[in-house]
Amino acid sequence: ARTVHELEDAGVAGLHLEDQVNPKRCGHLDGKTLIGTDDMVAKVAAAAESKTDDFVLIARPDARGIEGLGASIERGNAYRAAGADMMNTVNSVSQ
């Protein structure tokens, strides 16, 4: 929530949240670890409750390479329901 306020105050138009454990890896690489869906939903909800209508909140599930496309879409839909303005599963492909 604090980060969203600080970004908006700085004039940033949006924020892209990913569900990887830190340190994050490129979505195309192996070796990624994900946080739990419930934990990510809580993060998205906190960010969504803090933002103004003009601020764009994008959630990106990185589950495709680990759990499959269906799981990635399910995670993305949960993030959208939690308040993300959009989701991005396209870059979550493991090669």
What is the reported pTM? 0.84
CA distance 60 to 45: 14
Asked if 62 and 32 count as a contact pair (C-beta separation under 8 A), the reply is yes
Looking at the DSSP bridge assignments, the partners of residue 17 are 59
Residue 34's nearest CA partner among 76, 77, 1 is: 76
- List the strands of the sheet with 14-18, edge to edge: 14-18, 56-60, 86-87
Position 89 scores a pLDDT of 66
* DSSP label at residue 49: H
Position 24 scores a pLDDT of 76
pLDDT under 70: residue ranges of the chain: 27-29, 89-95
